Amino acid sequence: MRWYGFGKMQTLPPLTPRTALFLDFDGTLVDIAPRPEEVIVSAVVITTLQRLHAQLEGALAIVSGRELAGIDSFLTPLILPAAGAHGGQLRQADGSMTVIDPPDLFLVSRAAGRLTVMHPNLLLENKTGSVALHYRQAPELETLCLETLTDAVCRSPGTELLRGKFVFEVKAAGVSKGGAITAFMARQPFAGRVPLFAGDDLTDEDGFAAVQQLGGHGLKVGDGPTQARSRCASPAELRNWLAQAAATLTQGAPA
């Protein structure tokens, strides 16, 4: 089996023609921006994903907390297999969709909304399957956000709180990126391949567990404790590694 390592990135896991590649979006594929809508996806990233998608025979999926519509718009013109809303929305390679009914998030949204009225530096995202409260612009409000949402979650059956980087998110209980990856791995073109999942946040940990349980590789992007067995320093380093892998796989592919 061939694999590809580059200079100081020798410790990164192998990316081979038999890899099933799963990529988180924010903080992994793209740099985190002050506001979620401000992330920048370069043309090079689009080209790299397009090439890898073809080289891996379609076994490349985005696994994100964002909704599918948001992922698709950032990756235009690509429509990749993808899990959105932390796995609450799942689009397989053949286009078939699985959408988990979102829980009643009214109390959560109302409580978070009241906080954002009092503290305009907080940012509330009401998504289809979740409510996200970002405190990146007001880190001193972390405890207040956590206590407010925890209280609302306790009064909202079927919900659970996720902690991310300067964000708390409330979503359907039991939905996870690990579950999404496992669902992809049960179907073609992912089945039978070696899964590799790259992510940067606490919400990616169960994805790392899922791929490593399947004999694959978890790749943590950036600092912080993790159960992933591999790590790279930054989204830029990950993008560089992906671009080099795409170039090398192209050279190695049959004519």
Catalytic residues: 24
Comparing CB distances to Mg ion, the nearer of 24 and 72 is 24
Closest CA to 35 of 117, 131, 135: 135
CA distance 70 to 78: 12
In Å, how far from its chain's centre is CA 68? 11
Angle at CA of residue 205, ends 199 and 211, nearest 5°: 80
Residues that bind Mg ion (CB under 5 A): 24, 26-27, 200-201
State in angstroms the smallest separation of the CB of 28 from Mg ion.
Answer: 5
CA distance 247 to 217: 21
Comparing CB distances to Mg ion, the nearer of 177 and 217 is 177
How far from each other are the two terminal CA atoms of the chain, in whole angstroms?
19
Q: Which residue is nearest to Mg ion (CB)?
A: 27
- Please provide residue 126's backbone torsions phi and psi, each rounded to the nearest 5 degrees: -95, 105
Comparing CB distances to Mg ion, the nearer of 195 and 222 is 222
CA distance 240 to 45: 9
Closest CA to 65 of 150, 125, 147: 125
Comparing CB distances to Mg ion, the nearer of 102 and 235 is 235
State in angstroms the smallest separation of the CB of 7 from Mg ion.
Answer: 25
State in angstroms the smallest separation of the CB of 21 from Mg ion.
Answer: 16
State in angstroms the smallest separation of the CB of 22 from Mg ion.
Answer: 12
